[in-house]
Each structure stands twice: as structure tokens, then as C-alpha cells.
Amino acid sequence: MRQNQSRPRLIQAMLDAFHLPDLRSRILFTFAMLVAFRFVAHVPLPGVQTEALKSLFDQNALLGMLDMFSGGAMRNFSIATMGVYPYITASIIMTLITPVIPRLQALSTEGEAGRHKLNLLTHWFTVPMAGLSGWGQLVLLQRQGVVADTTLLPTVAMVLSMMAGTIFLVWLGELITDYGIGNGISIIIFAGIVAGYWQLVGSGVLVGEQGQIGGLIVIFTEAHRRIPVQYARTVFRGDRMYRQAGATHIPLRVNATGMIPLIFSMSMVLFPGMVASYFAGPPGSPNFANSIVNLFDPSAPMPLGLFYWGLYFLLTVAFAFFYTIVIFQQQDLAGTLQKQGGFVPGIRPGKQTVDFFNMVISRITWAGALFLAFVAVVPFLAREITNVQVIQLSSLGLLIVVGVVLDTMKQMEAQLTMRRYEGFIK
């Protein structure tokens, strides 16, 4: 199709995407699933004191952080109040125990069938995690006077409703992955963050610094190191065979894990404070649970806040390295390269190639890990320098938003390129 050169490239690419029936149907299906998510997020559970709930969220920064995953559903205490947070927690646990348990490690090496079984186990594990999280949140709200009825039957009904809401959102994410534009769970989180962003825009919170951070995120997300690779190709001319060398490269990304380390580390630093809040006493009372809540409070002043944000920084770096190692072990670049008859110039195939890739990956991952950790603690630095509190949510969510947008654009780019259309990214 002949393109109109007077139109901006991005707009033309969007029009090209809608001209393709299969891609258009995937985009519209994704929008329909997101509309369903937003409807569910506004279906409240019965028996909630609205004013008491609003006051609790205004006083507790921890709940505000968790509310990001649910797109405001927790603030409304709807049936989707937990969002996909239990699924993320289950994914973290499965990722951590897979290298330790031989059976799970064997499944991870069985290709697509093994990954499907691990994914199924993660979904099953999400159910008890959702039940535990729902019960804990309900107990917390009951102690704060937000939920008046504490009898058995209403409590069970509300917990089951919250479990159903989480499973429903995970199911929507799977549908988006299979029939939409992909990255279903990430897009659900993305939609929740964007829904909360409109309130920040209305209050004038999103300032120029956020755009600068977003630009840096794009740079580090797209940055990569090209490893030159040569292939020995066999060419037949008549009855003779010739060997010709073909050169290409392997792009190793500086941030190969995207937003995953940030989500994992945020879940880990939020979890102790969330669990301790279920057993906390009145504010100021000498209670061990109260001490844990204060220690893992993102809004705690210095020097107490330094523990939370320092741990957040270190966990982000650790998860970036851990997840990068897991990804590249599964890809087995050196083995795949050797099977295809390729080699890195100056590096012997086999163990030397493995060591070379490990060295390069470890070096470039430091840059990506430290940048992710820096973006994670930007809210803390901004609070200490400018005393701005509400920038916390927008800065943390910005990394997830940019990552999801770039991944989605790349998938649509691939679809357009296969059909010889000009894509989004130049």
C-alpha cells in the first residue's frame, strides 16, 4: 500500500496496523478486555465504610503502593482489589524455586511443553496466594473499622469474591496474550497505572522531570551491545561445493529483563510490611508488628526510610542479575550458535564462547541493573531534595508504562514488518 508521506510516521504506522484485519482484531480485542477490567475494578464489595476507607489510604503509603497494581480497585475495595499481585507473588516464588527443585528445573529445559506446565503450576499456586492475601487485607480493614460485619459468612463471601476477581484478571491477561497484542499481565498492570495517572495529571503532579526520566528509560531499554558473528555457508555451483563466510551480529541488551526486576523487588519489599500490618496494634504501641510496618514504610523519614529504599535498591540489582542469568541459560546462545555453524571471531566454539558471553552479559548487566535501581529510588531522592511526596507513584509506574509500551510496539512492529509495512520504530 502506498503511504502518504505527509503524515507523521507514527500516525501512518497506526493507520497501517488498522488496515490489517488480523492485527486490527487483536488491537480491538485488547481494548475490549481492558474495558472489562475497568468495569470490574468499579464493582465494590458490600459492607465497606467509604469514608473510613478513604481516610485509611490517605494515611497509609503502603496501601497506595499496592493500589498501583489494581488500578484503583483497592481504593474502591472492589472485587478486583488485589489486582494481579497474587499472580506476581506466585511467579516470583516459582522463579526462585525452579533452579532449586530438580523436577521443576527439568521442566524448564523441556521447551514449550515444559514452560506450559510451569505456567500451569504458577496459576494453581495463585489461588491460595489470592486467598491468603484477600483474607489478610480483609482482616486489616476490619481492624481499622472499614468493614463493619466480621461474622463468618460475609467474611468468606468477600474473600471468595476477591479471589475470583484476581483469577478473572489473570484470565483476562491470558486472553490478551493469546488473542490480543501480547504481554497480557503486563498490559493489565499498565492499564491500572495509566488509570491512576489521570488523577495525577489533574492534580498537576506530572512535571517535566518525569519526561526526562522516561527518556532515559527508553535509552537504557533500547541500548544493546552487538556481538559480531560469522557463519560458514555452503554454496553449490554446478557439481562443486564452496564454503562462504556470512557476517551478522547478536544484539545483547543492556536491560535484558525489562521491568521484571523492579516488579519483583517492589513485591519483596512490600510483602513484610503488608503481612506485619495484619498483626499490628494501635499506632505508637510497643508492638513487634508495628516495628516491622514502620521499617518497611516507603514514606518513613530519614534515617528509617534509608533501610526500605536501600533494600529496594539492592534487591533490584540482585533480581536484574538473577533474571538475566535465568534468561540466558534458557536461551543457550553458545550452544545454538555452534549448532548453526556460527562462531564469534577470535573465540573458540564451546566453553570459550560460553565464558565470553557470560563475561559480556555480566558487564553490560551492571549498567542496566544500576539504572533500574536508580529509577526505583528516584522517588526517595526527590522526596528528600524537594519534599514532594506524590511523585512516588508516578515515578515507579513510569518505568512499567514505558517498558510495556516499548514491548507492545515491538510486537506490532514485527507484525507490520512481516507484511512489508513501515513500523513504529525507526
The structural domains of the chain, with segments of one domain joined by +, span: 1-201, 205-426
State which CATH number among 1.10.287.130, 1.10.150.670, 1.10.3370.10, 3.40.50.150 fits the domain covering 205-426: 1.10.3370.10
Name the grid cell of 278. 495484619
How far, rounded to the nearest angstrom, does the alpha carbon of residue 50 sit from its chain's CA centroid? 30
CA atoms of 301 and 334, how far apart (whole Å): 48
3-state secondary structure of 242: strand
User: Going by DSSP bridges, is the β-strand pair 240-253/342-343 parallel, antiparallel, or unpaired?
Assistant: unpaired
Helices (H) and strands (E) in the chain, counts: 17, 3
**In the predicted structure, residue 365 carries a pLDDT above the cut 70:** yes
pLDDT band at 167 (very low <50, low <70, confident <90, very high): very high
For residue 260, the model assigns a pLDDT of: 77
Tens digits of residue pLDDT in 380-405: 777 677 665 544 445 567 777 777 77
Q: Is the pLDDT of residue 228 over 50?
A: yes
Whole-structure pTM value:
0.73
The rounded distance, in Å, linking the Cα atoms of 160 and 133 is: 11
Say yes or no to pLDDT of 195 above 80.
no
Q: Helix H segments across 296-390?
A: 304-331, 333-339, 351-386
Average pLDDT over residues 363-369: 88
Q: What is the pLDDT of residues 274-321, one digit of tens each?
A: 777 767 666 656 677 777 777 777 777 777 778 888 888 999 899 888
Name the residue with higher pLDDT: 236 or 271. 271
CB atoms within 10 A of CB 363: 12
Q: Terminus-to-terminus CA distance in the chain, angstroms?
A: 19
CATH topology of domain 1-201: Preprotein translocase SecY subunit (1.10.3370)
The larger pLDDT score, comparing residue 422 to residue 16, is at: 16
Q: Are 168 and 40 in contact (CB under 8 A)?
A: yes
Q: Cα–Cα distance between 360 and 367 in angstroms, integer?
A: 12
Predicted local distance difference test score (pLDDT) of residue 314: 92
Alpha carbon 240 to chain centroid, angstroms: 54
pLDDT number for residue 32: 92
Rank 113-127, 262-276, 407-421 by mean pLDDT and report only the highest. Answer: 113-127
Q: Measured between alpha carbons, how far is residue 398 from residues 183, 321, 425 in Å?
A: 17, 22, 20
Provide Rg for the chain, Cα atoms: 24
| N residues, the chain | 426
Angle among Cα 409, 411, 412 to the nearest 5 degrees reads: 65
Q: pLDDT, tens digit, for every residue of 27-75? A: 889 999 999 988 888 888 877 776 777 777 666 655 666 666 566 677 7
Grid coordinates representing 387? 519534599
Average pLDDT over the chain, rounded to an integer: 75
Query: pLDDT digit string (tens) for 367-381?
Result: 888 888 888 887 777
pLDDT of residue 208: 47
